[in-house]
Amino acid sequence: ISFNSVDSSLSSLKNCQSYINTGMDIATHVALDLVESFNDVEDVNSMENVMLEYAAMDRELNHYMRAIEETVNQIKREKPENIPDLKYLVKEKFTALESENSDSDLQRNEKYLYFKDQLKEMRKQYNDNEDIEQIDEDIAVTQSQMNFICPITQMEMKRPVRNKVCGHTYEEDAILKIIQTRKQQKKKLRCPKIGCSHADVKGSDLLPDEALKRAIESQNKQ
């Protein structure tokens, strides 16, 4: 049995998944814009609902692709004499996967978690700005600017990335360069932030910190 057409369909579905990821990225940026513009909480919450809808689409697409892959693998393994009803077998596996769905699945979606994390950081930045009037302004600004400094370059970050394991931020190019050097040396990289015990920083653990980037840009404009 030739599965060329199935492989082609799977490739198209994976392209659809990239469109969902792009949509989630756009929704995240719009939500951050809303926080930055001091828009109503209701408007920001509407973007969270959009993210959950995208997460549901992503889950459904993943289940469908998994159902197809499992069906193909089963047929390759069993090598039946007659061609089975592929459509029925896929539908059966897909229905079984969908029956296990729960709301908590959507809230564990990686891009949804990133969305929530960035919103939290963005709100923290703006709450800090509101509190400046209540404490010594020089101290507040100094503390804020310290968070803008990369622990590797000791310079203000332009493209900050945050380690999702320990929560520390670094300049993207600087941390990736060190990770690559350690990889060539076949050594693990300890987090460059002084006092951090995380001893195995990986490129896959780094996420763009859009909220921090916006805070740095806002501070520089002021």
Query: Who has greater pLDDT, 139 or 93?
Result: 93
Question: What are the pLDDT digits (tens) for 126-135?
Answer: 665 554 444 4
Predicted local confidence at residue 129, as pLDDT: 54
Provide the percentage of residues in the chain whose pLDDT is more than 70.
89
| CATH code, 160-220 | 3.30.40.10
Return the pLDDT at 162.
95
- pLDDT of amino acid 71: 92
Is pLDDT above 80 for 26?
yes
Q: Give, in order, the Cα–Cα distances in Å from 9 to each of 5, 13, 61, 184.
A: 6, 6, 12, 38
Supply the pLDDT for residue 132.
Answer: 45
Domain boundaries, the chain: 3-126, 160-220
Span 135-158, average pLDDT: 71
Segment of 39-43, 70-74, 120-124 carrying the highest mean pLDDT? 70-74
**pLDDT tops 70 at residue 139:** no
- pTM score, whole prediction: 0.75
pLDDT confidence tier of residue 121, bands split at 50, 70 and 90:
confident
What are the contacts of 63-68 at 24+ separation with CB within 8 A? 63/94, 63/97, 63/98, 64/13, 64/90, 64/94, 65/10, 65/13, 65/14, 66/93, 66/97, 67/91, 67/93, 67/94, 67/97, 68/6, 68/9, 68/10
Q: What's residue 144's pLDDT?
A: 52
| The pLDDT of residue 63 is above 60 | yes
Dist CA 179 CA 196 (whole Å): 16
